[in-house]
Each structure stands twice: as C-alpha cells, then as structure tokens.
Amino acid sequence: MSIGDRRALLEAALAGEPLERLPVALWRHFPVDDQRAESLAAATLHFQRTWDFDVVKISPSSNYCVADWGVVTRWEGNQEGTRTYISRRVRTPEEYEHIERLDVRRGMLGEMVRAAELIVKALPEETPCVMTVFSPLTVVRYLRGDEFVVDLRRFPDAVLHALEVITRVYEDFVASVLDVGCAGIFLAVQPATHRLLSEDEYRRFGEPFDRRLLAVAERGWLNVLHAHGHDIMWELLAAYPVQAINWHDRHTFPSLAEARSRFGGALIGGLRQWETLLRGTPEAVRAEVADAREQVEGRSLIVGAGCVIPVTTPWGNLRAAVEAARGT
C-alpha cells in the first residue's frame, strides 16, 4: 500500500465516505516488555510487521502513568496482559495534597516518550501511531484505587488539587509524544460510566481535565477516545474533539449502527475480543466483521475490538479479521 493510499483511506473513514476496504487496527499488551522503551518498541514493531495494521496503537502497561509517583505493580500472568497493583501512592485522602509535578523526560514517563520515538522512526511514513494516555481521573484511580469515588464526594478539593497537578504532567506528556511524531493520542477514559459516577460528577472531576489534554493534542490529526466499560456516558464523551472513538460496542450502548448518527468521526470496533477473537473461530470473526460493515453501510468504520485483545489470541483469528476488513 502506498503512503497516499493509507492516509487517504483513514481520512475517508474519518469523513464518513464510502470505503472500498475497511481500515483495521487491533492492539495488545506486551507484558514484561512494556516496562522499558527499547523492549516495548521492539515488541510493538514486531506485532505491526506481522499484521500491517492501518493504525498502530502504542499500549504500555497502565502502571506507566503512576510508577513515577511510587505505585508498585507486578506481572502475574493476566491473560489481558495487565499488571497487579501491589501498593498505591495515595493511601489516605490527605495524601492527594502531596502529589508532585513530574518531569516527563525522566523515569517511566521518559521511557514511554522514548518508546514512542523509536516506534515512529521505525514505522513506514504511511502508518500513523497513537500513544495511550490515561485520562487524569483514571490516573487518580490508579493512584488511589476504587476508594477515589468516596474521596471525590467527601474530599472534593483534595481530589481536584491532585487532578490539577496530574493534568499539568500529562499536558507535558502529550506534547512530548506529539513532538516525536505520534499522529495523536489514544485517550483512555475509565470512570465515565454510570455504574461508577453520576454525569454531574464526571462533568466536574473528569471532563474539564480530559479536554485540557485534548487541547494540547489538537495539532495531531488522529486523536482517539477510548470509553471503557459498560453504561458509558456516551453523549458526553461523543462531544469531545476527537477524530475517532472506541468502546465496547458489542456489549454496551450504543451499537455501531446507533453511534453513526451520534458521532461525526470514525468508529473503532465491531469485534468482541474475548468471545470472538480469543475463543471463536475464523468464520465467526469474519461474520462479525461483515455484520459491523453492514451496520454502518461501509462507512466511518475502523475494524477493531472493544479494548486490548488477549495475549493468547489465535493468529488464525487475527488473520481472519485483517482479511475480512480488507476483502481478501
């Protein structure tokens, strides 16, 4: 595929134009390898060279966003590739006040900026990559654990103080990954679900800080919002200034068909990562891609899963997804 063809294909998907073939992007974690720049870059590039996805999503472990604040995690074999949290930085509400400004050129944050730089330099010019950035309230959750919900209701000023510091750090981080050549960010939003918070709470503690990161990312041409979980605050999130949105479309409202009229950019989804990609057959994968294509009438779709795919996903199923998207 030529440079112009891939960029043109993605821009057509973003614009809602009819697509001769569907772009495809799947991503996974690389446990253990994801703790250092060189090894994460090598694993990401090996995966990309195998499958030649239309977008590369850099997937560091979630601990990268809090390790420099002293959060301790351990790899224990989770099939999704995620790490177990051993100790948190914020153990009492008073400790929100002590969250300090970090230098994103150092520590784990510096490793991830370096990983992004290595990946961008090694990819063909035609292939964009986006860097995973966790929303500031998601970072609070990783610093504190699920107690953060009680804290924001009982100690809102302390949580807001931490959110201000965190947001300044990640404004710097977003600028840094764009500076090394990322096409945009993949803003992973976890707490924007009605199962966790009210919409008014998210508008106070989540949205303003998310939008600050997206304002820094505005110079990128491919910013993606990932809405994690069930019962997501779709209408709120779909108004964010991003070019594409990814969510668990097979498990929670809206479906791809319903989302087309509610969002003006590209929809990333169509595949269930556990039931279909992990435990299904190539035929089931192809059928799900065909259904996704039909839901959107061949427009506005980048074939993907609702989240990271399991590390043991069969290669035959990955191959089926790529071939079905590309009509081969």
Instruction: Supply the CATH number for residue 235's domain.
Output: 3.20.20.210
Which band of pLDDT confidence, cut at 50, 70 and 90, is reported for residue 328?
confident
Place of tokens 């924001």: 152
Place of tokens 């891939």: 6
Can you give the three-state secondary structure of 130-169, one letter per residue? Answer: EEEEECHHHHHHHHHCCCHHHHHHHCHHHHHHHHHHHHHH
* 87 phi and psi angles, rounded to 5 deg: -145, 145
Residues 218-235, mean pLDDT to the nearest whole number: 98
pLDDT at 1 over 50: no
For the chain, the domain total comes to 1
Cβ within 8 Å of residue 107, ≥6 positions away: 67, 68
> What tens digit of pLDDT does each residue of 52-111 get?
999 999 999 999 999 999 999 999 999 999 999 999 999 999 999 999 999 999 999 999
Check residue 18 and give its pLDDT.
96
Check residue 2 and give its pLDDT.
47
Check residue 4 and give its pLDDT.
55
Query: 296 vs 231, 232, 255, 266, 289, CA distance in Å?
Result: 22, 21, 10, 10, 11
Supply the angle between the helices 37-51 and 107-122 in degrees, to the nearest 10.
30
Check residue 16 and give its pLDDT.
97
Domain that holds residue 152: 3-326
Residues 10-28, mean pLDDT to the nearest whole number: 97
Residue type at 141 in one-letter notation: R
pLDDT at 3 over 50: no
